[in-house]
Structure 1
């Protein structure tokens, strides 16, 4: 599987770019999966639901299945957070895995950047960032795309990974 990341500070446009890239790349006939890193505790379940009650009772894993999808929830409890490599190994094979976050890992990435956030560019100090998708013109030693030019960003990523 090919892997490519989308990184950036909070409110830089990462999730919107990810959403548009998934739609554009799958429209072109490629299979895509995503991994999203969260810096906070999150829950995909809700109090009162049976699966939530199973986890609250102490189940280590709860697999929820229907005819439309299945989801496996794994409680880490006393375990360390799994590495990106560990998580990638759990995915079914696809043409491309787009990873949102994991900015400190060494895989190739594009940075989403919005000037209004006031945050510094990550690309200036991180060689794993191969391009920037920005809402403002930038002079950098790597390609810079308009943040809303999904076609150009998708072309770049697919060329980078050889698809």
Structure 2
């Protein structure tokens, strides 16, 4: 099965996470299996200081798997390694109908740009990125040449993605 990937990109506070969250819920309601990849520009930790798994990593383990009857997680410490490419991360995901990638604005996958008046930056990304195929916005964009959707019209954005990716 060919992996179908759509990105949600935009400046800080432009609505990326909310749109991603709402699209996941919409596609799951439509019966699809969806995975997500979120790029963080800062150090983050999913683990808590003092937990056994945190102690394993602190002791030097390169990977720590945490497994329970409800979920499992694999944490990989990069140490002296480079951040993996998006393709490398996508290759590690289990098969699914759709992967929604949040962030990774400079990668070459198809993307929908989010725009909000209250965003940290309001410069359009689409002018410099041919992989942006549509815009989801909280305001009218009469000069935009790409398809523009109201950022809250989740069904319309999902229909566009379904059509564009042949889902």
> Does 1:140 pair with 2:126?
no
Q: Which runs of 5+ in 2 are unaligned?
A: none
Name the counterpart of 2:41: 39
- 2:128 aligns to what SS in structure 1? coil
**1:30-69, aligned counterparts within 5 Å?**
30-69=32-71
Give the alignment partner of residue 123 of structure 1, picking from 126, 137, 143.
Answer: 126
TM-score, normalisation: structure 1: 0.98
* Displaced runs of 4 or more, over 6 A: none
Name the counterpart of 1:100: 102
1: distance between equivalents of 2:62 and 2:36?
24
1: distance between equivalents of 2:127 and 2:79?
37
Q: Which runs of 5+ in 1 are unaligned?
A: none
**1:8-87, aligned counterparts within 5 Å?**
8-87=10-89
Name the counterpart of 1:160: 164
2: distance between equivalents of 1:62 and 1:46?
13
TM-score, normalisation: structure 2: 0.96
